[in-house]
Structure formats: structure tokens, C-alpha cells
Amino acid sequence: MEGANRRPRRRRRRTAERLKSLLIAVLSLSALYLCARTGLYGDLAGVWGGLLLPEQESPIPLGSAGDSRPELIPVRITVRSGPSGRFAAQYDQALTDEVYAALRGLLAEALASARPPRQMTEAHWRQALGREGVCFDFGGQAPLDALCVWLGEGSRNDALTGDVRRLLVVRDNVGDGALLCFRDETDGTYYACETALTYRGRMAESLEPYEGSGPAFVFELEDSGGAYQALDPYVLLSATPLSPRIYEAGNPLLEAEALDRVQRALSFRPQSDAGYQVQGGLRYREGKETLEVLDRGVIAYHASEPSASRYSLGEGPSPGRTACIEAAWRLAEATLGNLSGAGRLCLLEARETASGAVVRLGYTLDGAAVALPNGAAAAQVVIQEGYITGYTLQFRRYEDTGERSLVLRELQAAAALEVQAPGGELALCYIDSGGMSLEAGWVAG
């Protein structure tokens, strides 16, 4: 009788244990669901997915999300609203942003409506720089087809290809139309395209507020007695002395919270048991992927093969260069861009390879380039067969000190440049060698 009573109690105990196990499993799944819904793992983890479960990776919508398109802002803009005098926004990013916001619509319309380009001579290019219109200088090499997509809200113009630095929207010298002019930086050839824009009306009204203040390109100073002959002919000389800002620089990854957030954004476990010490930092390994977090503020990732990467563009094995740039840009903005302070990302290069592309981004401060040690980029991203298979991110934070420095006028700087690098481009640059304070100086490009 006693044995018969024990059996029902044992059965009830086993049933209760099973119910407890089931309840724990349900609560665990509910917790994971709520964490995913509320973003408990960090604001950016959802961008990359798979933070705790990388094997359940979903494609990253880097190449297709409209709000992820790069907003390439020119580093300088010049405007001619009449036959004489020129307005310029240079080494003043707030002013450049303001002018670009007012005139970017002209560039977007010119790109969207441009007819097939015809080749022009450099002499005609220089004449175009002197006509009524606007010149947008992006500093680095921007793919023309990608600019059409980004400025045209996804629309393309198959007539436009090549890499450009400067884009002109200027009045046609034989009528009232407007031309889109550019130099293909890959081969140095100059081109002009007819557009649907007309000068009288909207274009003339848009340019009217920008009165000339005297800046000139080097090639326009033929009566200078050869004082500027050491310079690139398209250096824009300032009308007034320059007094660039002084910045304080630092490594944001020294803050535990910032490092934790970045690792989550990159879809790696911040406190993973897979991490171990290496010279200069930590290394994390998951399957065929490696992430290194170095003490000097560098994070480097490598996947041994494309299919092993957790970073899919979602565009198939041949995503195209525009999608590759968008992917690299979004990766950099989600990590570097959130911690760079006054620093701004710019596109340096987008080089196509046999299986994808290599995209390099840099920092700028108030429209001046930032030079990192050993010519490093702020971000270098390798894309193969539709996956990001490698990246190197150089984290720096820049804060305006409220102080300014003095620099030589271009004439004195040109004299020094004539000895160092004849024919080079004179530009202000911040040399960031890892110190705390950054002041701009002239460099030869």
C-alpha cells in the first residue's frame, strides 16, 4: 500500500519538474523576444543583426535602405552670379553646408537631365570656371553614377560615368541653357553635358545672393609674375587671411561604454569568452571571423571567405560599386560617425576589384582633410561577392577648443612648396599623429 502511494507522488513530482522546465524555456524565449523588440542590446545592434545568434544572420539592408545613402557634402563651393567677382565657401563647413543646401537642387537637376557628355579641352574647362554658375568641389573622387543616385533620390542617368572631384553647373556661352561640366579623374579628360536647366529664371535667382568677394584660381593670376607657378592651377586662393580652428583629439574607445556600444553595433559579443589578449589589444574569434580591438583605437575585422561573413549587402554576388559605397558608408557612420565629435566622414576612394570593391573614407574638420598616421584611412572596407569580408576602423574624436591658429598666406606657403613639391596642390590639413591638440597647416597634395 505504501509503495502504491509513492508511485503517484513520484509521478506528480516528475510532472511538476517537466512543467518547471517548460516554463523556464518559455520565459527565456520571451526574454529574448522582448530584448530584440526593445533594443536592449544597444541602439545599433539591430542594424547588423545576429549579436547573440550570429548563425541566424539576416541580410543587412545596406545597399537598399534609402536613408543609408551617403550625403557627400562638398568641401568648397564657388559661385559666380555675374561676369565679375566670385563668392567662395572654403575651410568653413557651416557656410559650405548652408550654400550647398541652397544650391544642391541645381546640381541634382543638372545630373538628372544631363545628356550624353561631349569631350572638351582644358582651355574650355577654364573658361567654364569663369562663367556664371557654381562649382562643387568634393575633395576626393566621387563616382558620378553614384552621385546621380544619391542626389536624385534613387534615379539614375546612364549617360554619366567616371569619377569626379569638381562638378560645374554653368551658363552656356552660346545661349541661355546650362551645362554640366566635369573632369574624369581616372584619365584626366574634360567633359560637358547639355542639361534641361536654363540660366534665366530659377538658376539666376538662386545664384544672385552670392556676391563676389575676390577669391581666384591660380590659373587666373597670369599677372602675378610667376609667384604661384609652384602650385596646381586649380588651387583656390583665399581673399582674406585664414584662421583655422584648433581641435582637441582623443581616442573614444578608451571609454568602456563607447567600446561596448561599438562591438554591439558590429554584432560581436562585448563580453564574449572568445576574446583573448594579443599584442596591443584583444582578439575575438567566432568561426572563420576575427575581430581585433587595439588599444590605439583601431578595430579590424576579417572573414576568411565571403560566405563566412555576417555582413551581407543583400544585393547578390555582384552588388555594384554604388551599393558597395553605401554599405561601407553605413558601417562607418554606425561606428565612427557616432563617436567622431566635430569630425566628418568623406569619401576618399572606391576602387573596384575582381570580386567587389575597396572603399576608403577619411575625416575632415571644417572642410580641411585630416591626415592619420602612415596614410591610414578612417575606414577601409573590403567587399567580396556581396559580403563585407574585412574592415579597418580608426576611431578618433575631435572637439572644437574655441581657439584659432594663424597660417601663412598662400604666397608664402607657395614659396616653400616650390622647393618641396613643385606643381602640387596647396591645401590646409590637420596632421593627426595621436596627440591631444590639432592645428591646421599647409600641405602639398
DSSP track, 403-431: EE-----HHHHHHHHHHH-TTBPEEEEEE
Exposed / middle / buried, residue 300 (Cβ in 10 Å: 0-12, 13-18, 19+) = middle
Nearest to 333 by CA among 49, 70, 142, 143: 70
Rounded average pLDDT over 34-46: 32
What pLDDT sits at residue 39?
32
Q: SS3 of 87, please? A: strand
Rounded average pLDDT over 214-223: 83
The amino acid that residue 56 corresponds to is Q
The amino acid that residue 98 corresponds to is E
Q: Where are the alpha helices (DSSP H) in 202-290?
A: 204-207, 256-265
What pLDDT sits at residue 152?
78
Exposed / middle / buried, residue 22 (Cβ in 10 Å: 0-12, 13-18, 19+) = exposed
pLDDT band at 19 (very low <50, low <70, confident <90, very high): very low
25: CB partners within 8 A, 6+ apart: none
The per-residue pLDDT for range 177-190, each reduced to its tens digit, is 999 999 999 999 99
Indicate if the pLDDT at residue 197 is higher than 70. Answer: yes
Nearest to 395 by CA among 422, 361, 366, 420: 361
Nearest to 411 by CA among 215, 239, 227: 227
pLDDT band at 68 (very low <50, low <70, confident <90, very high): low
Sign of CA dihedral 298, 303, 306, 308: negative
C-alpha cell belonging to residue 216: 581666384
What pLDDT sits at residue 430?
97
Residue that the C-alpha cell 548563425 belongs to: 55
Residue 401: its H or E element: strand 397-404
Indicate if the pLDDT at residue 387 is higher than 80. Answer: yes
What pLDDT sits at residue 423?
61
C-alpha gyration radius of the chain: 27
Greater confidence (391 vs 66) lies with: 391
User: What is the C-alpha to C-alpha distance for residues 202 and 152, in angstroms, rounded to an integer?
Assistant: 18
Rounded average pLDDT over 108-119: 95
Indicate if the pLDDT at residue 73 is higher than 50. Answer: yes
What pLDDT sits at residue 178?
96
The per-residue pLDDT for range 342-373, each reduced to its tens digit, is 999 999 999 998 888 999 999 999 999 999 99
Q: Give the range with max mean pLDDT: 65-69, 199-203, 213-217.
A: 199-203
| Cβ atoms 75, 96 nearer than 8 A | yes
Could you tell me the pTM of the whole model?
0.82
User: What is the C-alpha to C-alpha distance for residues 397 and 378, in angstroms, rounded to an integer?
Assistant: 11
Find residue 400's DSSP bridge partners.
247
Neighbours of 128 (CB within 10 A): 21
Rounded average pLDDT over 69-80: 88
User: What is the C-alpha to C-alpha distance for residues 259 and 387, in angstroms, rounded to an integer?
Assistant: 24
User: What is the C-alpha to C-alpha distance for residues 431 and 127, in angstroms, rounded to an integer?
Assistant: 35
User: What is the C-alpha to C-alpha distance for residues 87 and 355, in angstroms, rounded to an integer?
Assistant: 44
C-alpha cell belonging to residue 306: 565571403
| Cβ atoms 444, 425 nearer than 8 A | yes
The per-residue pLDDT for range 285-306, each reduced to its tens digit, is 888 999 999 999 999 999 999 9
Please, what is the Cα angle at 154 between 57 and 210, to 5 degrees? 130
What pLDDT sits at residue 11?
45
Q: SS3 of 264, please? A: helix
Find residue 294's DSSP bridge partners.
281
**CA–CA distances in Å: residue 258 to residues 44, 147, 267, 395:** 12, 32, 14, 11
Find residue 346's DSSP bridge partners.
362
Phi, psi of 8 (to 5 degrees): -60, -35
Indicate if the pLDDT at residue 397 is higher than 80. Answer: yes
Indicate if the pLDDT at residue 33 is higher than 80. Answer: no
Region label for 201, one of left (φ > 0), alpha (ψ between -120 and 50) or beta (otherwise) = left
Name the least confident of 227-236, 274-283, 414-423, 435-444: 414-423
Length of the chain (residues)? 445
